Structure 1
Amino acid sequence: MQSTSRFRFMKSRHVARITALHATMNDFQYDRHAHEEYALGVTLAGRQDFFSNGEFHRSPPGSVITLHPDEVHDGHAGGDDALDYVMLYIHPDELDPLIANAMGVQGLQATRLAPTLMKDVPLRDEIIALSRMIEEQETSQIEQEYALYRIAAHLAERAGNFAPNERARRPDSLLERAKDFIHENARYDISLDDISHSAHISKYHFLRTFRTQYGITPHQYVLNCRVNAARRHLENGESVMEAALCCGFSDLSHFNRRFKRIYGMTPRQYQAHIFT
Protein backbone atom coordinates (compact mmCIF):
# COMPACT_ATOMS: atom_id res chain seq x y z
CA MET A 1 0.00 0.00 0.00
CA GLN A 2 1.35 3.43 -0.94
CA SER A 3 2.15 5.68 2.00
CA THR A 4 -0.49 8.38 2.49
CA SER A 5 0.30 9.49 6.04
CA ARG A 6 -0.04 13.26 6.44
CA PHE A 7 -0.47 15.34 9.58
CA ARG A 8 -1.43 19.00 9.82
CA PHE A 9 -1.52 20.81 13.17
CA MET A 10 -3.04 24.30 13.43
CA LYS A 11 -3.41 26.54 16.48
CA SER A 12 -6.45 28.77 16.80
CA ARG A 13 -5.59 32.42 16.32
CA HIS A 14 -8.60 33.50 18.36
CA VAL A 15 -9.03 31.10 21.29
CA ALA A 16 -6.02 30.34 23.46
CA ARG A 17 -4.78 26.78 23.98
CA ILE A 18 -6.76 25.05 21.24
CA THR A 19 -5.02 23.08 18.49
CA ALA A 20 -6.66 21.28 15.58
CA LEU A 21 -5.21 18.25 13.81
CA HIS A 22 -6.28 16.92 10.41
CA ALA A 23 -4.56 13.59 9.72
CA THR A 24 -4.59 10.98 6.99
CA MET A 25 -2.64 7.80 7.70
CA ASN A 26 -2.27 4.18 6.70
CA ASP A 27 1.31 3.22 7.58
CA PHE A 28 1.85 5.04 10.87
CA GLN A 29 1.07 3.91 14.40
CA TYR A 30 1.07 6.17 17.45
CA ASP A 31 2.91 4.91 20.52
CA ARG A 32 0.91 4.83 23.74
CA HIS A 33 0.90 8.35 25.12
CA ALA A 34 -1.29 10.94 26.82
CA HIS A 35 -2.05 14.63 26.29
CA GLU A 36 -2.51 17.43 28.79
CA GLU A 37 -5.62 18.50 26.88
CA TYR A 38 -8.98 17.02 26.08
CA ALA A 39 -8.82 15.35 22.67
CA LEU A 40 -12.15 15.42 20.81
CA GLY A 41 -12.07 13.75 17.42
CA VAL A 42 -14.17 12.48 14.54
CA THR A 43 -13.29 9.67 12.16
CA LEU A 44 -14.04 10.98 8.65
CA ALA A 45 -13.05 7.95 6.55
CA GLY A 46 -11.47 4.56 7.07
CA ARG A 47 -11.37 3.10 10.57
CA GLN A 48 -9.39 4.19 13.62
CA ASP A 49 -8.29 1.38 15.95
CA PHE A 50 -6.94 2.39 19.34
CA PHE A 51 -6.43 1.40 22.96
CA SER A 52 -7.74 3.71 25.66
CA ASN A 53 -9.05 3.52 29.22
CA GLY A 54 -8.21 -0.17 29.48
CA GLU A 55 -10.13 -1.17 26.34
CA PHE A 56 -9.58 -1.63 22.61
CA HIS A 57 -11.82 0.46 20.35
CA ARG A 58 -12.68 0.56 16.64
CA SER A 59 -13.95 3.89 15.35
CA PRO A 60 -15.79 3.77 11.99
CA PRO A 61 -16.62 6.90 9.96
CA GLY A 62 -18.85 9.35 11.81
CA SER A 63 -17.86 8.17 15.29
CA VAL A 64 -16.83 10.65 18.00
CA ILE A 65 -13.73 9.97 20.11
CA THR A 66 -13.46 11.63 23.54
CA LEU A 67 -10.14 11.40 25.39
CA HIS A 68 -9.76 13.12 28.75
CA PRO A 69 -6.55 14.84 29.89
CA ASP A 70 -3.79 12.40 30.78
CA GLU A 71 -5.72 9.44 29.34
CA VAL A 72 -3.28 6.97 27.79
CA HIS A 73 -4.04 5.88 24.23
CA ASP A 74 -2.46 4.81 20.97
CA GLY A 75 -3.88 4.58 17.46
CA HIS A 76 -3.54 3.34 13.91
CA ALA A 77 -5.57 2.78 10.76
CA GLY A 78 -7.71 -0.35 10.86
CA GLY A 79 -8.46 -2.33 7.72
CA ASP A 80 -7.10 -1.64 4.24
CA ASP A 81 -8.38 1.90 3.70
CA ALA A 82 -6.49 5.00 4.76
CA LEU A 83 -7.72 6.63 7.96
CA ASP A 84 -8.84 10.26 7.75
CA TYR A 85 -9.80 12.09 10.94
CA VAL A 86 -9.86 15.42 12.74
CA MET A 87 -9.00 16.05 16.38
CA LEU A 88 -9.34 19.08 18.64
CA TYR A 89 -6.89 19.42 21.53
CA ILE A 90 -8.49 21.75 24.08
CA HIS A 91 -6.74 22.63 27.33
CA PRO A 92 -8.83 22.06 30.49
CA ASP A 93 -8.39 25.74 31.41
CA GLU A 94 -10.43 26.60 28.31
CA LEU A 95 -13.05 23.84 28.39
CA ASP A 96 -13.65 23.04 32.06
CA PRO A 97 -15.08 26.45 33.08
CA LEU A 98 -17.51 26.37 30.15
CA ILE A 99 -18.69 22.86 31.00
CA ALA A 100 -18.98 23.65 34.72
CA ASN A 101 -21.01 26.75 33.92
CA ALA A 102 -23.32 24.77 31.64
CA MET A 103 -23.78 22.15 34.38
CA GLY A 104 -24.38 24.81 37.05
CA VAL A 105 -21.51 23.63 39.27
CA GLN A 106 -18.39 25.29 40.67
CA GLY A 107 -15.93 22.73 39.29
CA LEU A 108 -15.85 19.44 37.45
CA GLN A 109 -13.90 17.54 40.13
CA ALA A 110 -12.49 14.94 37.70
CA THR A 111 -15.89 14.29 36.14
CA ARG A 112 -15.78 11.94 33.17
CA LEU A 113 -17.85 13.64 30.50
CA ALA A 114 -18.60 11.00 27.90
CA PRO A 115 -17.71 7.50 26.74
CA THR A 116 -14.47 7.11 24.83
CA LEU A 117 -16.25 6.18 21.59
CA MET A 118 -19.81 7.08 20.66
CA LYS A 119 -22.26 7.96 17.92
CA ASP A 120 -23.44 11.54 18.46
CA VAL A 121 -24.34 13.43 15.29
CA PRO A 122 -24.70 16.95 16.82
CA LEU A 123 -21.39 16.67 18.69
CA ARG A 124 -19.73 15.20 15.60
CA ASP A 125 -20.86 18.16 13.50
CA GLU A 126 -19.74 20.69 16.14
CA ILE A 127 -16.24 19.18 16.37
CA ILE A 128 -15.87 19.14 12.58
CA ALA A 129 -17.13 22.73 12.33
CA LEU A 130 -14.64 24.12 14.86
CA SER A 131 -11.81 22.09 13.31
CA ARG A 132 -12.54 23.62 9.91
CA MET A 133 -12.77 27.12 11.37
CA ILE A 134 -9.28 26.73 12.81
CA GLU A 135 -7.93 25.09 9.66
CA GLU A 136 -9.26 27.80 7.35
CA GLN A 137 -8.42 30.68 9.77
CA GLU A 138 -11.07 32.86 8.16
CA THR A 139 -13.68 33.03 10.92
CA SER A 140 -13.95 35.64 13.65
CA GLN A 141 -13.13 35.25 17.33
CA ILE A 142 -16.78 35.26 18.35
CA GLU A 143 -17.58 32.45 15.88
CA GLN A 144 -14.86 30.22 17.30
CA GLU A 145 -15.78 31.06 20.89
CA TYR A 146 -19.43 30.22 20.21
CA ALA A 147 -18.45 26.95 18.50
CA LEU A 148 -16.41 26.00 21.57
CA TYR A 149 -19.33 26.92 23.84
CA ARG A 150 -21.65 24.63 21.84
CA ILE A 151 -19.22 21.73 22.27
CA ALA A 152 -18.96 22.43 26.02
CA ALA A 153 -22.74 22.63 26.41
CA HIS A 154 -23.19 19.34 24.58
CA LEU A 155 -20.56 17.63 26.74
CA ALA A 156 -22.24 19.02 29.86
CA GLU A 157 -25.52 17.49 28.75
CA ARG A 158 -23.72 14.21 28.05
CA ALA A 159 -22.04 14.20 31.46
CA GLY A 160 -25.38 14.30 33.24
CA ASN A 161 -26.41 11.02 31.61
CA PHE A 162 -23.12 9.12 31.59
CA ALA A 163 -21.96 6.59 34.20
CA PRO A 164 -18.20 5.95 33.90
CA ASN A 165 -16.64 2.57 34.51
CA GLU A 166 -14.92 1.67 37.78
CA ARG A 167 -11.43 2.45 36.46
CA ALA A 168 -12.42 6.02 35.60
CA ARG A 169 -14.48 6.54 38.76
CA ARG A 170 -11.89 5.47 41.34
CA PRO A 171 -8.33 6.56 40.54
CA ASP A 172 -5.69 5.27 42.94
CA SER A 173 -4.70 8.23 45.16
CA LEU A 174 -1.14 6.94 45.68
CA LEU A 175 -0.60 6.49 41.96
CA GLU A 176 -2.03 9.96 41.36
CA ARG A 177 0.57 11.27 43.80
CA ALA A 178 3.27 9.44 41.83
CA LYS A 179 2.00 10.99 38.61
CA ASP A 180 2.13 14.45 40.16
CA PHE A 181 5.76 13.82 41.13
CA ILE A 182 6.57 12.77 37.56
CA HIS A 183 4.94 15.90 36.13
CA GLU A 184 6.94 18.12 38.47
CA ASN A 185 10.27 16.36 37.91
CA ALA A 186 10.17 14.79 34.44
CA ARG A 187 12.95 17.04 33.16
CA TYR A 188 15.36 15.50 35.69
CA ASP A 189 16.96 12.06 35.66
CA ILE A 190 14.50 10.57 38.15
CA SER A 191 14.54 6.91 39.18
CA LEU A 192 11.82 4.40 40.03
CA ASP A 193 12.89 4.69 43.66
CA ASP A 194 12.38 8.46 43.53
CA ILE A 195 8.87 8.08 42.14
CA SER A 196 7.74 5.24 44.42
CA HIS A 197 9.13 7.01 47.50
CA SER A 198 7.14 10.13 46.61
CA ALA A 199 3.96 8.04 46.78
CA HIS A 200 5.04 6.03 49.85
CA ILE A 201 4.67 2.67 48.10
CA SER A 202 7.20 -0.05 47.30
CA LYS A 203 8.93 0.05 43.94
CA TYR A 204 7.60 -3.36 42.97
CA HIS A 205 4.01 -2.55 43.89
CA PHE A 206 4.35 0.73 42.01
CA LEU A 207 5.64 -0.99 38.87
CA ARG A 208 2.87 -3.57 38.98
CA THR A 209 -0.03 -1.23 39.60
CA PHE A 210 1.00 1.77 37.48
CA ARG A 211 0.80 -0.08 34.18
CA THR A 212 -2.38 -1.87 35.23
CA GLN A 213 -4.05 1.44 36.08
CA TYR A 214 -2.81 3.58 33.18
CA GLY A 215 -1.84 1.16 30.41
CA ILE A 216 1.68 2.57 30.14
CA THR A 217 4.98 1.96 31.95
CA PRO A 218 6.43 4.62 34.29
CA HIS A 219 9.37 5.10 31.90
CA GLN A 220 7.02 5.67 28.96
CA TYR A 221 5.01 8.10 31.06
CA VAL A 222 8.12 10.12 31.98
CA LEU A 223 9.07 10.37 28.29
CA ASN A 224 5.50 11.35 27.45
CA CYS A 225 5.59 14.19 30.00
CA ARG A 226 8.88 15.42 28.55
CA VAL A 227 7.47 15.46 25.02
CA ASN A 228 4.33 17.35 26.11
CA ALA A 229 6.44 19.92 27.94
CA ALA A 230 8.75 20.28 24.94
CA ARG A 231 5.74 20.87 22.71
CA ARG A 232 4.80 23.90 24.84
CA HIS A 233 8.31 25.29 24.43
CA LEU A 234 8.08 24.82 20.66
CA GLU A 235 4.74 26.65 20.59
CA ASN A 236 6.38 29.52 22.48
CA GLY A 237 8.91 29.88 19.66
CA GLU A 238 11.94 28.29 21.32
CA SER A 239 14.35 26.30 19.18
CA VAL A 240 14.16 22.52 18.95
CA MET A 241 17.45 22.22 20.82
CA GLU A 242 16.29 24.55 23.60
CA ALA A 243 13.03 22.64 23.98
CA ALA A 244 14.85 19.31 24.13
CA LEU A 245 17.40 20.41 26.73
CA CYS A 246 14.83 22.20 28.92
CA CYS A 247 12.69 19.08 29.11
CA GLY A 248 15.26 16.42 29.89
CA PHE A 249 16.37 15.22 26.44
CA SER A 250 20.15 15.30 26.19
CA ASP A 251 20.12 13.63 22.77
CA LEU A 252 18.37 15.51 19.96
CA SER A 253 17.87 12.37 17.86
CA HIS A 254 16.12 10.69 20.81
CA PHE A 255 13.85 13.72 21.20
CA ASN A 256 13.02 13.65 17.47
CA ARG A 257 12.12 9.95 17.60
CA ARG A 258 9.93 10.23 20.70
CA PHE A 259 8.13 13.32 19.41
CA LYS A 260 7.37 11.76 16.02
CA ARG A 261 5.90 8.63 17.63
CA ILE A 262 3.32 10.81 19.39
CA TYR A 263 2.65 13.59 16.86
CA GLY A 264 3.46 11.94 13.54
CA MET A 265 6.11 14.51 12.62
CA THR A 266 9.42 15.87 13.89
CA PRO A 267 9.54 18.80 16.35
CA ARG A 268 10.81 21.09 13.60
CA GLN A 269 7.96 20.10 11.28
CA TYR A 270 5.43 20.59 14.08
CA GLN A 271 6.77 24.07 14.80
CA ALA A 272 6.57 24.97 11.10
CA HIS A 273 2.89 23.91 11.04
CA ILE A 274 2.02 25.88 14.16
CA PHE A 275 3.57 29.12 12.90
CA THR A 276 2.31 28.84 9.31
Structure 2
Amino acid sequence: MSNASRFQFIKSQHVPTLTVLHAAIEDFSYDRHAHEEYAFGVTLAGRQDFFSGGRYHRSPPGNVILFNPEEVHDGQSGGEHALDYLMVYAHPEQVNALFADALGRDNTADFRSNSTLIQDVQLRNAILELARLVTAHAGSCIDQENALYQVIGRTVQLGGISQPHQVTTRPDALLGLAKEYIHAHLDSDISLDDISQTAHLSKYHFLRLFRQHYGITPHQYVINCRINAARSALDLGASLTEVALRYGFSDLSHFNRRFKRIYGMTPHQYQRDIAR
Protein backbone atom coordinates (compact mmCIF):
# COMPACT_ATOMS: atom_id res chain seq x y z
CA MET A 1 0.00 0.00 0.00
CA SER A 2 1.38 3.44 -0.93
CA ASN A 3 0.69 6.83 0.60
CA ALA A 4 -2.24 7.20 -1.83
CA SER A 5 -4.48 5.49 0.73
CA ARG A 6 -5.12 7.18 4.07
CA PHE A 7 -6.95 6.01 7.18
CA GLN A 8 -7.83 7.89 10.37
CA PHE A 9 -9.68 6.59 13.43
CA ILE A 10 -11.25 9.09 15.84
CA LYS A 11 -12.80 8.00 19.14
CA SER A 12 -15.63 9.92 20.74
CA GLN A 13 -14.56 11.81 23.84
CA HIS A 14 -18.03 11.41 25.29
CA VAL A 15 -19.70 8.16 24.18
CA PRO A 16 -17.87 4.90 25.01
CA THR A 17 -17.13 2.55 22.06
CA LEU A 18 -18.20 5.17 19.48
CA THR A 19 -15.49 5.46 16.81
CA VAL A 20 -15.31 7.09 13.38
CA LEU A 21 -13.11 5.95 10.49
CA HIS A 22 -12.36 8.38 7.67
CA ALA A 23 -10.67 6.56 4.79
CA ALA A 24 -9.41 7.60 1.38
CA ILE A 25 -8.50 4.56 -0.72
CA GLU A 26 -6.87 4.15 -4.11
CA ASP A 27 -4.70 1.03 -3.90
CA PHE A 28 -5.82 -0.88 -0.82
CA SER A 29 -8.19 -3.84 -0.43
CA TYR A 30 -9.51 -5.06 2.91
CA ASP A 31 -9.35 -8.77 3.68
CA ARG A 32 -12.71 -10.37 4.42
CA HIS A 33 -13.41 -9.69 8.08
CA ALA A 34 -16.12 -8.79 10.56
CA HIS A 35 -16.43 -6.32 13.43
CA GLU A 36 -18.11 -6.78 16.79
CA GLU A 37 -19.77 -3.40 16.31
CA TYR A 38 -22.56 -2.04 14.17
CA ALA A 39 -21.00 -0.08 11.30
CA PHE A 40 -22.83 2.85 9.67
CA GLY A 41 -21.05 4.25 6.62
CA VAL A 42 -21.47 6.86 3.91
CA THR A 43 -19.65 6.81 0.57
CA LEU A 44 -18.44 10.39 0.04
CA ALA A 45 -16.65 10.14 -3.31
CA GLY A 46 -15.64 7.45 -5.78
CA ARG A 47 -17.26 4.03 -5.66
CA GLN A 48 -17.12 1.55 -2.78
CA ASP A 49 -17.06 -2.09 -3.96
CA PHE A 50 -17.49 -4.82 -1.37
CA PHE A 51 -18.71 -8.34 -0.64
CA SER A 52 -21.24 -8.95 2.12
CA GLY A 53 -24.17 -11.28 2.75
CA GLY A 54 -23.17 -13.66 -0.02
CA ARG A 55 -23.17 -11.05 -2.78
CA TYR A 56 -21.16 -8.17 -4.21
CA HIS A 57 -22.25 -4.54 -3.83
CA ARG A 58 -21.33 -1.22 -5.41
CA SER A 59 -21.91 1.97 -3.46
CA PRO A 60 -21.79 5.32 -5.33
CA PRO A 61 -21.46 8.69 -3.54
CA GLY A 62 -24.29 9.42 -1.12
CA ASN A 63 -25.19 5.81 -0.41
CA VAL A 64 -25.31 4.37 3.10
CA ILE A 65 -23.60 1.08 3.98
CA LEU A 66 -24.75 -0.76 7.08
CA PHE A 67 -23.00 -3.81 8.54
CA ASN A 68 -24.54 -5.73 11.43
CA PRO A 69 -22.19 -7.08 14.12
CA GLU A 70 -20.12 -10.06 12.89
CA GLU A 71 -21.29 -9.55 9.31
CA VAL A 72 -18.41 -10.62 7.05
CA HIS A 73 -17.34 -8.11 4.41
CA ASP A 74 -14.35 -6.77 2.51
CA GLY A 75 -13.92 -3.54 0.57
CA GLN A 76 -11.99 -1.64 -2.05
CA SER A 77 -12.16 1.31 -4.41
CA GLY A 78 -14.09 0.70 -7.63
CA GLY A 79 -14.34 2.70 -10.81
CA GLU A 80 -11.97 5.38 -12.05
CA HIS A 81 -11.89 7.71 -9.06
CA ALA A 82 -10.41 7.37 -5.58
CA LEU A 83 -12.77 6.21 -2.83
CA ASP A 84 -13.51 8.50 0.11
CA TYR A 85 -15.85 7.33 2.86
CA LEU A 86 -16.82 7.60 6.52
CA MET A 87 -17.74 4.73 8.83
CA VAL A 88 -19.17 5.04 12.35
CA TYR A 89 -18.73 2.06 14.67
CA ALA A 90 -20.89 1.50 17.77
CA HIS A 91 -20.74 -1.59 19.98
CA PRO A 92 -23.99 -3.51 20.66
CA GLU A 93 -23.54 -2.92 24.39
CA GLN A 94 -23.74 0.81 23.66
CA VAL A 95 -26.76 0.78 21.34
CA ASN A 96 -28.93 -2.24 22.19
CA ALA A 97 -30.95 -0.19 24.66
CA LEU A 98 -31.39 2.50 21.99
CA PHE A 99 -32.64 -0.10 19.52
CA ALA A 100 -35.09 -1.41 22.13
CA ASP A 101 -36.40 2.10 22.76
CA ALA A 102 -36.78 2.77 19.03
CA LEU A 103 -38.66 -0.52 18.71
CA GLY A 104 -40.93 0.44 21.63
CA ARG A 105 -39.71 -2.32 23.94
CA ASP A 106 -38.59 -2.31 27.54
CA ASN A 107 -35.76 -4.81 27.19
CA THR A 108 -32.61 -4.49 25.09
CA ALA A 109 -32.77 -5.88 21.57
CA ASP A 110 -30.16 -7.40 19.28
CA PHE A 111 -31.35 -5.68 16.12
CA ARG A 112 -30.21 -6.66 12.62
CA SER A 113 -30.87 -4.47 9.62
CA ASN A 114 -32.52 -6.05 6.58
CA SER A 115 -30.38 -4.02 4.18
CA THR A 116 -26.67 -3.56 3.60
CA LEU A 117 -26.74 -0.91 0.86
CA ILE A 118 -29.27 1.86 1.53
CA GLN A 119 -30.38 4.97 -0.35
CA ASP A 120 -31.91 7.20 2.30
CA VAL A 121 -31.17 10.91 2.70
CA GLN A 122 -32.37 11.05 6.31
CA LEU A 123 -30.14 8.20 7.48
CA ARG A 124 -27.19 9.52 5.47
CA ASN A 125 -27.49 12.98 7.03
CA ALA A 126 -27.84 11.51 10.52
CA ILE A 127 -24.62 9.48 10.08
CA LEU A 128 -22.74 12.48 8.68
CA GLU A 129 -23.84 14.66 11.58
CA LEU A 130 -22.77 12.06 14.14
CA ALA A 131 -19.42 11.66 12.38
CA ARG A 132 -18.96 15.45 12.30
CA LEU A 133 -19.52 15.78 16.05
CA VAL A 134 -17.04 12.99 16.84
CA THR A 135 -14.30 13.97 14.39
CA ALA A 136 -14.46 17.67 15.31
CA HIS A 137 -14.66 16.85 19.05
CA ALA A 138 -17.76 19.04 18.97
CA GLY A 139 -20.82 19.19 21.14
CA SER A 140 -21.49 17.83 24.59
CA CYS A 141 -22.15 14.24 25.62
CA ILE A 142 -25.90 14.69 25.18
CA ASP A 143 -25.38 16.14 21.68
CA GLN A 144 -23.47 13.07 20.53
CA GLU A 145 -25.88 10.70 22.26
CA ASN A 146 -28.81 12.39 20.53
CA ALA A 147 -27.06 12.18 17.15
CA LEU A 148 -26.43 8.47 17.72
CA TYR A 149 -30.10 7.97 18.65
CA GLN A 150 -31.15 9.65 15.38
CA VAL A 151 -29.06 7.10 13.45
CA ILE A 152 -30.54 4.19 15.43
CA GLY A 153 -34.10 5.45 15.13
CA ARG A 154 -33.92 5.87 11.37
CA THR A 155 -32.25 2.47 10.96
CA VAL A 156 -35.16 0.83 12.79
CA GLN A 157 -37.69 2.71 10.63
CA LEU A 158 -36.03 1.33 7.50
CA GLY A 159 -36.60 -2.25 8.64
CA GLY A 160 -34.88 -5.11 10.35
CA ILE A 161 -35.22 -8.03 12.72
CA SER A 162 -35.03 -8.20 16.49
CA GLN A 163 -33.04 -11.38 17.03
CA PRO A 164 -34.68 -12.71 20.21
CA HIS A 165 -37.72 -13.63 18.06
CA GLN A 166 -35.77 -15.54 15.43
CA VAL A 167 -35.91 -19.33 15.29
CA THR A 168 -32.42 -20.79 15.73
CA THR A 169 -31.67 -23.66 13.35
CA ARG A 170 -29.50 -26.62 14.36
CA PRO A 171 -26.53 -25.52 12.19
CA ASP A 172 -26.75 -22.02 13.67
CA ALA A 173 -26.74 -23.47 17.18
CA LEU A 174 -23.75 -25.74 16.50
CA LEU A 175 -21.76 -22.99 14.84
CA GLY A 176 -22.70 -20.71 17.71
CA LEU A 177 -21.03 -23.17 20.09
CA ALA A 178 -17.91 -23.05 17.94
CA LYS A 179 -17.85 -19.26 17.93
CA GLU A 180 -18.33 -19.14 21.70
CA TYR A 181 -15.38 -21.50 22.11
CA ILE A 182 -13.19 -19.36 19.84
CA HIS A 183 -14.02 -16.16 21.73
CA ALA A 184 -13.28 -17.85 25.06
CA HIS A 185 -9.87 -19.09 23.91
CA LEU A 186 -8.45 -16.24 21.83
CA ASP A 187 -5.28 -16.18 23.91
CA SER A 188 -4.78 -19.97 23.60
CA ASP A 189 -3.27 -22.18 20.89
CA ILE A 190 -6.54 -23.68 19.63
CA SER A 191 -6.82 -26.20 16.81
CA LEU A 192 -9.46 -27.00 14.23
CA ASP A 193 -10.07 -30.30 16.04
CA ASP A 194 -10.77 -28.40 19.27
CA ILE A 195 -13.31 -26.12 17.59
CA SER A 196 -15.09 -28.79 15.53
CA GLN A 197 -15.41 -31.10 18.55
CA THR A 198 -17.03 -28.26 20.49
CA ALA A 199 -19.57 -27.97 17.67
CA HIS A 200 -20.13 -31.77 17.70
CA LEU A 201 -19.21 -31.99 14.00
CA SER A 202 -16.54 -33.79 12.02
CA LYS A 203 -13.65 -31.53 11.09
CA TYR A 204 -14.40 -31.46 7.37
CA HIS A 205 -18.15 -31.09 7.77
CA PHE A 206 -17.48 -28.23 10.18
CA LEU A 207 -15.13 -26.54 7.70
CA ARG A 208 -17.69 -26.66 4.90
CA LEU A 209 -20.59 -25.55 7.10
CA PHE A 210 -18.66 -22.67 8.67
CA ARG A 211 -17.50 -21.26 5.35
CA GLN A 212 -20.97 -21.70 3.83
CA HIS A 213 -22.57 -19.75 6.69
CA TYR A 214 -20.02 -16.98 7.25
CA GLY A 215 -18.11 -16.60 3.99
CA ILE A 216 -14.73 -17.11 5.65
CA THR A 217 -12.84 -20.12 7.01
CA PRO A 218 -12.59 -20.89 10.75
CA HIS A 219 -8.90 -19.92 10.55
CA GLN A 220 -9.78 -16.51 9.07
CA TYR A 221 -12.44 -16.07 11.76
CA VAL A 222 -9.97 -16.86 14.57
CA ILE A 223 -7.45 -14.35 13.18
CA ASN A 224 -10.22 -11.77 12.79
CA CYS A 225 -11.39 -12.24 16.38
CA ARG A 226 -7.83 -11.96 17.67
CA ILE A 227 -7.30 -8.72 15.75
CA ASN A 228 -10.56 -7.29 17.11
CA ALA A 229 -9.55 -8.28 20.66
CA ALA A 230 -6.13 -6.75 20.06
CA ARG A 231 -7.76 -3.51 18.94
CA SER A 232 -9.78 -3.39 22.18
CA ALA A 233 -6.58 -3.91 24.18
CA LEU A 234 -4.88 -1.11 22.24
CA ASP A 235 -7.84 1.14 23.09
CA LEU A 236 -7.01 0.56 26.76
CA GLY A 237 -3.36 1.49 26.24
CA ALA A 238 -1.73 -1.97 26.27
CA SER A 239 1.72 -2.16 24.70
CA LEU A 240 2.10 -3.49 21.16
CA THR A 241 4.43 -6.31 22.19
CA GLU A 242 2.15 -7.41 25.03
CA VAL A 243 -0.89 -7.48 22.75
CA ALA A 244 0.90 -9.33 19.96
CA LEU A 245 2.10 -12.09 22.29
CA ARG A 246 -1.21 -12.33 24.17
CA TYR A 247 -3.15 -13.07 20.99
CA GLY A 248 -0.79 -15.54 19.39
CA PHE A 249 1.15 -13.46 16.87
CA SER A 250 4.73 -14.65 16.45
CA ASP A 251 6.20 -11.14 16.49
CA LEU A 252 5.32 -7.49 15.88
CA SER A 253 5.87 -7.84 12.14
CA HIS A 254 3.25 -10.63 11.97
CA PHE A 255 0.87 -8.60 14.13
CA ASN A 256 1.38 -5.51 11.95
CA ARG A 257 0.61 -7.36 8.73
CA ARG A 258 -2.59 -8.95 10.02
CA PHE A 259 -3.87 -5.78 11.68
CA LYS A 260 -3.22 -3.67 8.58
CA ARG A 261 -5.23 -6.00 6.32
CA ILE A 262 -8.35 -5.32 8.41
CA TYR A 263 -7.86 -1.74 9.65
CA GLY A 264 -5.69 -0.22 6.91
CA MET A 265 -2.96 0.87 9.33
CA THR A 266 -0.47 -0.63 11.74
CA PRO A 267 -1.35 -1.12 15.44
CA HIS A 268 1.06 1.70 16.31
CA GLN A 269 -0.65 4.08 13.89
CA TYR A 270 -4.06 3.07 15.24
CA GLN A 271 -3.02 3.64 18.85
CA ARG A 272 -1.54 6.99 17.91
CA ASP A 273 -4.80 8.05 16.20
CA ILE A 274 -7.11 7.20 19.07
CA ALA A 275 -4.82 8.94 21.61
CA ARG A 276 -5.38 12.32 19.95
Do the structures match in fold with TM over 0.5?
Answer: yes
Counterpart Cα distance in 2 of 1:264 and 1:149: 28
Asked if 1:275 corresponds to 2:275, the answer is: yes
Q: Is the 8 A contact 1:3 1:27 kept in 2?
A: no
Q: 1:169 to 1:269 in 2, by over 3 A?
A: same
CA distance in 2, matches of 1:5, 1:147: 29
Residue 95 of structure 2: aligned partner: 95
The number of residues matched between the two structures is 271
- In structure 1, the partner of 2:139 is 139
Q: How many Å apart are 1:127 and its aligned residue?
A: 0.4
Gaps of 5+ in 2: none
Q: Does 2:73 correspond to 1:73?
A: yes
- Mark the CA change 1:173 to 1:110 in structure 2 (over 3 Å): closer, same or farther: farther
Deviation string for 1:13-49 (max 9, x for gaps)? 0001110001000100000011010011000000000
Residue of structure 2 in register with 1:28 after alignment: 28
Q: Does 1:262 align with 2:262?
A: yes
**1:179-230 per-position Cα deviation (integer Å, ceiling 9, x unaligned):** 1111111221111110001111111110011111100011111000110000
Q: Which amino acid aligns with 1:33?
A: H
Comparing 121-130 and 150-159, the one that deviates more? 150-159
CA distance in structure 2 between the partners assigned to 1:269 and 1:3 by the alignment: 14
Q: What per-residue deviation string (whole Å, max 9, x for no partner) do you get for residues 50-77 of structure 1? A: 0011111101111110101111110000
Q: Where does structure 1 lack aligned partners over 5 or more consecutive residues?
A: none
Distance in 1 between the 2:104 and 2:87 partners?
27
What is the TM-score of this pair, normalised by structure 1?
A: 0.93
Q: Deviations over 1:83-112 (max 9, x none)?
A: 000000100011111011111224565442
Normalized against structure 2, the TM-score is what?
0.93
| 8 Å CA contact retained: 2:257, 2:266 | yes
Distance (Å, rounded) in 1 between the aligned partners of 2:197 and 2:31: 28
Q: 1:108 to 1:52 in 2, by over 3 A?
A: farther
How far apart, in 1, do the equivalents of 2:138 and 2:213 lie?
43
- 1:121 matched to 2:121: yes
Q: How far, CA to CA, are the matches of 1:37 and 1:250 in structure 2? A: 27
Distance 2:226 2:152 in 1: 29
Q: Judging changes above 3 Å, is the alpha-carbon distance between structure 1 residues 232 and 48 closer, same or farther for their aligned structure 2 residues?
A: same
Question: Which residue of structure 2 lines up, in the alignment, with residue 187 of structure 1?
Answer: 187
Secondary structure of the residue aligned to 2:14 is: coil
| Structure 1 vs Structure 2 CA RMSD | 1.9
Between the aligned residues of both structures, percent identity stands at 58
Instruction: Report the Cα offset of residue 249 of structure 1.
Output: 1.7
CA contact (8 A) 1:114 1:155 kept: no
1:76 is paired with a residue whose SS is strand
Name 2:44's counterpart in structure 1: 44
- What is the alpha-carbon distance in structure 2 between the residues aligned to residue 268 and residue 253 of structure 1? 11
Q: 1:107 to 1:33 in 2, by over 3 A?
A: farther
